Amino acid sequence: MKSYHKHLKSLLFFVSICMASAKAQDAATEQKITDLIGKMTIEEKVNMLHASSSFTSGGVPRLGIPELQMSDGPHGVRVEQGRGWNVVEGVNDAGTYLPTGNALAATWNPALGYQFGSVLGSEANARGKDVILGPGINIIRTPLNGRNFEYLSEDPYLISKMAVGTIKGIQDQGVSACLKHYAANNQETNRMTIDVNMSERALREIYLPGFKAAVMEGGVNTVMGAYNKFRGQWASHNYYLLNTILKREWAFKGPVISDWAATHNTIEAIYNGLDIEMGTEFSLKPFKGYNTFYLGDTVTTLVKEGKVKESIIDDKVRRILRTMFKTGMMDKSRKAGSFATKEHQQTALKIAEEAIVLLKNEAKILPLSAKKIKTIAVIGLNAFRPNAYGGGSSQIKATYEITPLEGIKNIAGDKIKVVYAQGYNVERGAKADAKLIAAAVAAAKKADVVIYVGGWVHGYDYKVWSDNAYDAEDTDKPDMNFPFGQDEVIKAVLAAKPNAIMVLTGGGPIDMTQWIDKAKTIVQFWYPGMEGGNALANILFGKINPSGKLPMSFPKKLEDSAPHKLGNYPGFKLVQNYTEDIYVGYRYFDTYKVAPQFAFGHGLSYTTFNYADLKVMAGADKKATATLTLKNTGKVAGAEVVQLYVKEQNPKIDRPEKELKSFKKVFLQPGESQQITFDLDATAFSYYDEIQAKWVMDAGKFDILVGSSSKDIRQTATVAF
Ligand code: BGC
């Protein structure tokens, strides 16, 4: 006991020394910044507040202050555009293409978030970038949002855990993450004009927690303001979002960067918290130079005329310089990054393997046994199309991209014959082509195993913006139906081969109601990055046991989802009221008793898990500890995401049926069991009280629901406070 105390004492002493030295370092940096600002002219200061090219903001060469080099983001470093907007040919910009945001979130593995961030940060660094424009963490509100594939989840807790890991991973490589799009940018339809309104409670409980965690736990260096308006004021210079919440409540110390062409007004930009204006060349017609931006020469004039205090400008410059000092830009101390390495590709593979979700495996057709198969028919153009270039600003030139067809061929080797049938054409408005269907059916009939790969698409040529794309920036999907007449193809294939395996690409749910009762096996593939095809093949053939879980609910029909049922998506006269309030995703499905097609948190495994002995104990300070035992009761090793939801029994105000408050991904050998502990604090039991304007936890009883998905609760206990 004595030696324990001695150790604890020396540890505390060490921690206090570290904290004191960090404080001293901060103070020294702040002093250096003050000295630099003291030497700058107003013109030089203002030059730092706006773009100096498509992806740089201004520096002050005289004082050794470099330009800030930025790049998209968020699942790889964007194809090089130099100082303009055209793709620059002949540079080494073919790099690692990671699984996109919702694939990463489907791993439910924050450690992979960190590894994802490390790859991104390291490659951005190697490409000479200081800021990588990501992660994008807006709530997945409607299945139609064209950018859902970049975002993470419908649940703020899952977003928080994955975003914090990603940001730390990026920033530990010496570059800055740029958290986007702050805030309420949940659709692409009218994104540049729409005015979003929601209750304070919805804002605090659903739309902000991910951003808050990214700032306060992730320590993100920069934040991007969104395109839309929020409660009548542009998000990129919104006083409440930026000054009141981000900078004051959350004590954010870095710069706010506007989305590209999201700035509209000099005075608001000056006073409402914007620090760097980017991309306004798109909205100024004619464009006469970067100094004509809203935060350009006009600001210099206003300061010179004494109409704006210089200290307000100094604060903006200070925030930019802080980021520069923090990321080794001022003393050039940043360690070297690495680009397009084998290790990075292996990380992309590992994430993809944990991201793919086994939605249905009714007849246990999966995993396939290679020994029993002579011919595989792969059907569907999505098995053949690459995706890296697609989607808009997140486009990547990948070193390579293993498509599903290639992945299946890789694993089949020369013992299994793999035939391919296109099945459908990828063209807006294309209907089912009878000839292609006939060829697909013929191939299916001759094969032992049929794998259909279809669903949504990205555009795929980096020179062509969003060509035929559904999962893409600047556009929402028109509906939730399979494009290109695929329902007809699938029905024909299933009629010919009832055991056909369905593999679905895309950034979210798709209406499967026409054939789901007939399909025995369904796999959600997302956009899983450059190694996606190999990851898929490893899962289909049982080399990898699937462990992905849906980070969003899959409704049966679009009409079943909350913003379409209760909200006014896509908005009325450019006003978008989030009238479904806090009832987003499973909070809606569970509370309103609507059955989803596949529930939030759902995902099957080739093994089985037993949940037992859930116990919950209330502790001091409104804390509680839950323990339970998880056992792998099947024959193969596997991972389970154990999800803990909280339900207040008799709440004073309406609360969702249940809310995710903790989860753990646990890897177990066959027969192995493990005791799992969840530590909960008051945040797990609280709601946002609009009258008191704060989080409140009422005394009462709370059910602790632990399970394998939001619908598959295996153990329940109650705790009282
Ligand atoms: C997108 C951002 C992106 C920026 C720069 C905007 O259109 O909304 O996510 O980072 O362009 O490419």
Identify the residue whose C-alpha is closest to ligand 1 atom 11.
260
- Highest CATH level, class, for 609-720: mainly beta
Identify the residues whose C-beta falls under 6 Å from ligand 1. 72-73, 133, 180, 259-260, 393
Please identify every stretch of the chain with a pLDDT value under 70, giving residue numbers as ranges: 1-8, 11-15, 17-18, 460-468
Identify the residue whose C-alpha is closest to ligand 1 atom 6.
260
pLDDT of residue 462: 55
Instruction: Kindly give the distance from the C-alpha atom of residue 260 to the centroid of ligand 1, in angstroms, as a whole number.
Output: 6
DSSP class of residue 539 equals: H
**Atom of ligand 1 lying closest to residue 191 CA:** 8
**Ligand 1 pocket test, candidate residues 133, 137, 396, most atoms within 8 A of CB:** 133
Q: What's the Rg (C-alpha) of the chain?
A: 26
DSSP alpha helix (H) spans, 48-176:
101-106, 110-126, 156-171
Longest dimension (CA), the chain: 83
**Atom of ligand 1 lying closest to residue 178 CA:** 10
Identical fold for domains 42-326 and 609-720, yes or no, is no
Identify the residue whose C-alpha is closest to ligand 1 atom 8.
259
Instruction: Kindly give the distance from the C-alpha atom of residue 68 to the centroid of ligand 1, in angstroms, as a whole number.
Output: 16
**Atom of ligand 1 lying closest to residue 185 CA:** 8
Identify the residue whose C-alpha is closest to ligand 1 atom 7.
260
Identify the residue whose C-alpha is closest to ligand 1 atom 12.
393
Taking Cα atoms as reference points, which of 151, 173, 182, 177 lies closest to residue 164?
177
Strand 256-258 versus strand 501-505 pairing type = unpaired
pLDDT of residue 7: 67
Identify the residue whose C-alpha is closest to ligand 1 atom 9.
393
pLDDT of residue 452: 98
DSSP class of residue 243 equals: I
**Atom of ligand 1 lying closest to residue 150 CA:** 9
Instruction: Kindly give the distance from the C-alpha atom of residue 473 to the centroid of ligand 1, in angstroms, as a whole number.
Output: 9
SS3 630: strand
Cα–Cα distance, 154 to 596 (Å, whole number): 14
Return the sign of the alpha-carbon dihedral for residues 486, 488, 489, 490. Answer: positive
Identify the residue whose C-alpha is closest to ligand 1 atom 3.
393
In DSSP terms, which residues pair with 673 in a beta bridge? Answer: 631
Instruction: Kindly give the distance from the C-alpha atom of residue 387 to the centroid of ligand 1, in angstroms, as a whole number.
Output: 18
**Atom of ligand 1 lying closest to residue 73 CA:** 10
User: Residue ranges of the domains in the chain?
Assistant: 1-39, 42-326, 348-551, 609-720
Tokens coding 394: 């997140």
Taking Cα atoms as reference points, which of 168, 74, 69, 87 lies closest to residue 125?
69
pLDDT of residue 18: 63
Dihedrals phi, psi of 202, to nearest 5 degrees: -60, -40
Contact 388, 398 (CB under 8 A): yes
pLDDT of residue 5: 62
Angle at 345 between CA 502 and CA 161, to 5 degrees: 75
**Ligand 1 pocket test, candidate residues 260, 283, 476, most atoms within 8 A of CB:** 260
Alpha carbon 603 to its chain centroid, in Å, reads 19
Decide: residue 419, CB within 10 A, 0-12 exposed, 13-18 middle, 19+ buried: middle
pLDDT of residue 466: 52
pLDDT tens-digit map of 356-397: 999 999 999 999 999 999 999 999 999 999 999 989 999 999
Instruction: Kindly give the distance from the C-alpha atom of residue 464 to the centroid of ligand 1, in angstroms, as a whole number.
Output: 16
Tokens coding 569: 């998506």
**Atom of ligand 1 lying closest to residue 181 CA:** 9
Instruction: Kindly give the distance from the C-alpha atom of residue 163 to the centroid of ligand 1, in angstroms, as a whole number.
Output: 18
Dihedrals phi, psi of 663, to nearest 5 degrees: -160, 160
- What is the model's pTM? 0.97
Catalytic (active-site) positions? 259
Ramachandran sector of residue 73 (left: φ over 0; alpha: ψ -120 to 50; beta: rest): left
Angle at 504 between CA 435 and CA 76, to 5 degrees: 115
**Atom of ligand 1 lying closest to residue 136 CA:** 9
Identify the residue whose C-alpha is closest to ligand 1 atom 4.
260
Instruction: Kindly give the distance from the C-alpha atom of residue 101 to the centroid of ligand 1, in angstroms, as a whole number.
Output: 15
**Neighbouring C-beta atoms of residue 11, cutoff 10 Å:** 10
DSSP alpha helix (H) spans, 310-458:
310-326, 342-355, 404-412, 434-446
Strand 659-668 versus strand 638-648 pairing type = antiparallel
**Ligand 1 pocket test, candidate residues 186, 278, 393, most atoms within 8 A of CB:** 393
Domain 348-551 = CATH 3.40.50.1700: yes
The architecture in CATH of the region 42-326 reads Alpha-Beta Barrel (3.20)
Q: CA dist 309 to 32, 254, 306, 587, 597, Å?
A: 22, 20, 7, 47, 57
Return the sign of the alpha-carbon dihedral for residues 352, 353, 355, 360. Answer: positive
In DSSP terms, which residues pair with 611 in a beta bridge? Answer: 630
Cα–Cα distance, 245 to 693 (Å, whole number): 12
**Ligand 1 pocket test, candidate residues 70, 72, 147, 182, most atoms within 8 A of CB:** 72
In DSSP terms, which residues pair with 396 in a beta bridge? Answer: none
Instruction: Kindly give the distance from the C-alpha atom of residue 486 to the centroid of ligand 1, in angstroms, as a whole number.
Output: 31
The residue count for the chain: 721
Instruction: Kindly give the distance from the C-alpha atom of residue 80 to the centroid of ligand 1, in angstroms, as a whole number.
Output: 14
